[in-house]
Chains A and B, each alone.
Chain A
Amino acid sequence: MIQVGLAAPRRAVGLTGLVLGAAFIRALLLPLGDILSTLVFGGCLLAIAWVERTAPTLPSPNVSNARLAPKRRSSGATGPASGGLESPSRVGILGSLVAGLLVGAVLLVPLTTGSLGARGLDGFWTWAALAALIATLEEIAIRGALYRRWSAEAGPVAAIVVGAVVFALIHLPRYGLGAMPLDAAVGLALGGLRAFTGRVAPCAVAHTIADWGAWFWA
């Protein structure tokens, strides 16, 4: 167990590098336009998640495939070596969505203390669809593939923390250093939501709600 816990999480590090690489490509493409760079970034995240879903997850012989993890959860996680038990018991779909909605609503609260913007609904739906798509892809990549990998190789706490750091780093080119603490805090909450519910969907819901608020209150 200790050996597994101390083993270098090489695949997790590699995957982290891929996600950060996607953000780097996006930063390089920013001069060519926000839409193009965002779409390329989204495509990269989708490709990463796609490849990762078929990759074996666990180095530990006692758990050989993360996909089986939710079905082998009766004993619960006991340490890093059992990190493959990504969620000892998943919250039901309805409960997960409620949790996602609640976290999204709490993320909105600080926004709503500001003045309401003058934007109408013209153009909102296209923007909202793009924001939801990118938010979902980010969550699939970070709270999905990356979380699963880090959770399997180093435990859920590491998965949450690394996810928060990566979340802050991928937004660095757009928002600068000043926004990093805020993005890291939001990433922490979303990682916690992933660990608590065992699902990615509530993270995507919370993330999307927080994004949409910017249209009305930014």
Chain B
Amino acid sequence: MTRTRRAGVVAIALGLAAAALLHGRFSAPPVYDGIVVPPEPYRWESPPPNLRAGNKPPLSGEATLPVLNGRVAGGGVQTDDNQVVIYFGPGTFKAPAGTQTVKCTIAPDPNPPPAPSGVDIRGNVYRIGCVAQPGGAPVTLASTYHLTLRFPPGAFKEIQVNDGSSWRALTTLRSPGGDPYASVNAPGFAEYAATAPTGAAAPSDSTFSILGRYAEFYGILAFVIIFGVIAIVQEVRRRNRRAPAPTNKRRR
């Protein structure tokens, strides 16, 4: 085996082994192109009849945050389907004395409290909670934390919180670019849901946005076809140019 090939084999082995080890350690996307993978369909706890087929149940998420010197340094939790992400800044929690870790969970609620009148709940209701460990004592909040919630296609107005007594609207920031995510400063451990006024229609597409979508789709196809054809033609021409070349003579 030549030196180049030996180097190749060693590099393949090292690279694959390192990739396998690193894959679980980093929450990095496994696409090596920088291309965004479109989000998968919304996972419904109770899907509308027309979406029942093919629906996958929503996933929960949990994380254990270490407590150092009586203080949680901060951290994040997200559901395994990325439909809910929460982030705690440093000093967000007040944990009881003796707390070693704080365990936070996000779980879809299969039996959520009814929506307030005039409001539809859009998507799932999620219950968010944190407890001190060991012991499971409740943890209180010193400040708000950041909550990002995905909502299904259709109407959306704001995120509301239910602390066990009633629903309350929160100041909501929608993600730019039409992404189906919205975020709030969550005031406590409670239930959260995306909501819209009853009967509200999904935002209609303007002519320009529809045109833009088509232009984007066909633009990609045109790019693939044009450059694919050019590449093939060039390769064929290059090979044709090389084919009649004189027989391989070694240079001395």
Is B26 at the interface (CB under 8 A from chain A)?
A: yes
B7 contacts A134, C-beta separation under 8 Å: no
Is A129 at the interface (CB under 8 A from chain B)?
A: yes
The distance from the CB of B24 to the nearest CB of chain A, in whole angstroms, is 7
Pick the contact of A192: B11, B35, B55 (CB < 8 A).
B11
Contact residues, A165-218 vs B (CB, 8 A): 167, 170-171, 173-176, 178-179, 181-198, 207, 210-211, 213-215, 217-218
Interface SS majority for chain A: helix
Is A135 at the interface (CB under 8 A from chain B)?
A: yes
Is B251 at the interface (CB under 8 A from chain A)?
A: yes
Contact residues, B4-44 vs A (CB, 8 A): 4-5, 7-16, 18-20, 22-24, 26-38, 40-41, 43
B19 contacts A182, C-beta separation under 8 Å: yes
**What is the chain A residue whose CB lies nearest that of B247?**
A71
Contacts of A118 in B (CB 8 A): 40-41, 43, 54-56, 81
Task: Categorize the interface residue count of chain B.
Answer: 35 or more
Partner-contacting stretch, out of B64-72, B148-156, B188-196, B221-229? B221-229
Contacts of B231 in A (CB 8 A): 46
A182 contacts B31, C-beta separation under 8 Å: no
B220 contacts A171, C-beta separation under 8 Å: no
B11 contacts A195, C-beta separation under 8 Å: yes
B32 contacts A109, C-beta separation under 8 Å: no
A118-B43, A181-B26, A186-B32 are known contacts. Are A191 and B3 too (CB-CB below 8 A)?
A: no
The distance from the CB of A127 to the nearest CB of chain B, in whole angstroms, is 7
In angstroms, Cα B34 to Cα A120, docked, is 21
A196 contacts B33, C-beta separation under 8 Å: no
Pick the contact of B12: A129, A156, A184, A189 (CB < 8 A).
A189
B23 contacts A191, C-beta separation under 8 Å: no
Pick the contact of A194: B8, B22, B43, B251 (CB < 8 A).
B8
Is B163 at the interface (CB under 8 A from chain A)?
A: no
Is A141 at the interface (CB under 8 A from chain B)?
A: no
Contacts of A218 in B (CB 8 A): 29-31, 37
Pick the contact of B7: A157, A214, A217 (CB < 8 A).
A157
Q: Mark A21-59, 1 if CB is under 8 A from B, else 0.
A: 000001000000011001101100010001001000000
The 6 closest A-B pairs by CB, nearest first: A192-B11, A189-B15, A195-B8, A196-B8, A179-B28, A188-B15
Please, could you name 5 A-B residue pairs with CB atoms under 8 Å apart, sorted by A?
Answer: A46-B231, A110-B30, A123-B38, A191-B15, A198-B4
| Interface positions of B (Cβ within 8 A of A) | 2-5, 7-16, 18-20, 22-24, 26-38, 40-41, 43, 54-56, 59, 80-81, 216-217, 219-221, 223-224, 227-228, 231, 234, 238, 242, 248, 250-251
Extra pairs beyond A110-B24, A196-B12 (19, CB < 8 Å): A34-B36, A35-B216, A38-B33, A39-B220, A72-B251, A106-B16, A106-B20, A110-B23, A110-B30, A118-B43, A119-B40, A130-B220, A131-B33, A133-B223, A173-B34, A182-B30, A189-B15, A192-B9, A215-B37
